[in-house]
Structure 1
């Protein structure tokens, strides 16, 4: 029996224009009417997500920053992880061979060192934006995660450089083809969902989760019902071949799947 449903945002709940479709919102409210706990598990910042759920009038727990923060329905901080200062120092002051831009996140917001208006398109629906700052002057004990944005092949080369330097001191993951994240060791959406499920007294086997990128892999593999988007990164489908692949976020496939699951739970499902 499903008691909790966890949703990635970009490429999963959100359509390609980064909006939440009306059908999806209606279906999420149907889940709440069935007393199924909602959780948004995303790489986005808690400040942005609290605004989003307020605008949508939804009650949902928040796993943000790819598992670095967990917040209750009331906004209470339930769990947090930050990068170790020595890791933050190594990344911020490293001489990386890359064209990717660097971004720092902490509880006060999102920081980068130059204007990149194209990146703001993904946040148009919330109005959340970066703050321009000299990144090397950010206190090392105030870094939750670091993100690099750029071309995928460039980021793959950067990932090798970071792995060689950081070893087991950090967790590296792609939250999108163009986004490589440096997270605290052991920090991911799956670990955070496990913490939340224990807090709520819910078994992970009674959780359902949806995702599309490699930062969703631990979450999808650890729940009783993991669903992969049809527009997912090929690497995700390859590492979790036993999970069901549904339709594309453009067609609000999460809503399509859940409507079938709610109304015809004993019939086989096929994507649109």
Structure 2
């Protein structure tokens, strides 16, 4: 154990899907109780997710989160009353490059998040029902994305062909280097956001807002967009079902989300201090 992981934790920033949430997107009673115990112990708690703000409201209410939360991988940090603490749109050139690349792939569904909506051209894509269930609201069908280019929060390539998304991730990173963040929030989702829109920067912003030194922060997650906050946090914890590449970048590994790994991590690594 290094010096950083010995520090008492004052703020935990957690991913949602695959971390706090079960595969059906619900919260277990043990997880709800663990988060409540954090707050009762005077430890700040908030959420960082690839989801849009609108798709976090039910979980925010259930968990009693009263701090700003980070949506779109940190591209939007919003107060409970809807005011923005930070907001970063994808540069237009990067958005055009991304949409053009993704649109050449027949196995990829292209989704754009802008103006508070989930936009797509094909409402019958095989990945749509899964996303609609997770978000809790339907998409808006558009003929094209041109009018939204200056205001895009996130672009997603969705595909059941996970290996294809790995290839596209490498291709796109080379094309938008220095302009955008490219990461797989889940094996079937490839997210593209502004450079400032990453969970590491979200942790830094929220910690500064709360007046908490980064050495006293913890990060919990399972996806390819979570190591960005692992590298900033005083203590980082990966979920047991996370890919090896993610797990090896964390200080600790807990159980999987189906085994209440988030609650176990809170109890063992944070509250126990």
2:69 maps to what in 1? 62
1:257 and 2:258 matched:
no
- Whole-Å separation in 2 of the counterparts to 1:232 and 1:178: 14
Q: 1:85-122 CA distances to partner (integer Å, 9 max, x unpaired)? A: 12112223446345211110123221111124654335
Question: Are the equivalent residues in 2 in contact too, given 1:113–1:135 (CA < 8 A)?
Answer: yes
- Whole-Å separation in 2 of the counterparts to 1:200 and 1:263: 19
TM-score for both structures, normalised by structure 1? 0.88
Question: Are the equivalent residues in 1 in contact too, given 2:76–2:197 (CA < 8 A)?
Answer: no
1:91 is aligned, of 92, 98, 117, to 98
Q: Which shows bigger deviation, 115-124 or 11-20?
A: 115-124
Question: Are the equivalent residues in 1 in contact too, given 2:108–2:157 (CA < 8 A)?
Answer: yes
Q: 1:96 to 1:124 in 2, by over 3 A?
A: closer
Deviation of 1:223 (Å): 0.5
- Whole-Å separation in 1 of the counterparts to 2:215 and 2:132: 33
TM-score for both structures, normalised by structure 2? 0.88
Which consecutive residues of structure 1, in runs of 5 or more, have no partner in the other structure? Answer: 266-272
- Whole-Å separation in 2 of the counterparts to 1:65 and 1:53: 15
1:248 and 2:256 matched:
yes
Q: 1:39 to 1:163 in 2, by over 3 A?
A: same
1:112 and 2:82 matched:
no
After superposition, where does 1:33-44 map in structure 2 within 5 Å? 33-44=40-51
- Whole-Å separation in 2 of the counterparts to 1:15 and 1:21: 7
2:146 maps to what in 1? 137
- Whole-Å separation in 2 of the counterparts to 1:186 and 1:81: 7
1:231 is aligned, of 234, 241, 247, to 241
- Whole-Å separation in 2 of the counterparts to 1:119 and 1:19: 19
1:205 and 2:212 matched:
no
1:269 maps to what in 2? none
2:79 maps to what in 1? 72
- Whole-Å separation in 2 of the counterparts to 1:198 and 1:225: 17
- Whole-Å separation in 2 of the counterparts to 1:97 and 1:120: 20
Q: 1:114-172 CA distances to partner (integer Å, 9 max, x unpaired)? A: 12465433553762332221233332101111110111111122223323432322211
Which consecutive residues of structure 2, in runs of 5 or more, have no partner in the other structure? Answer: 1-7
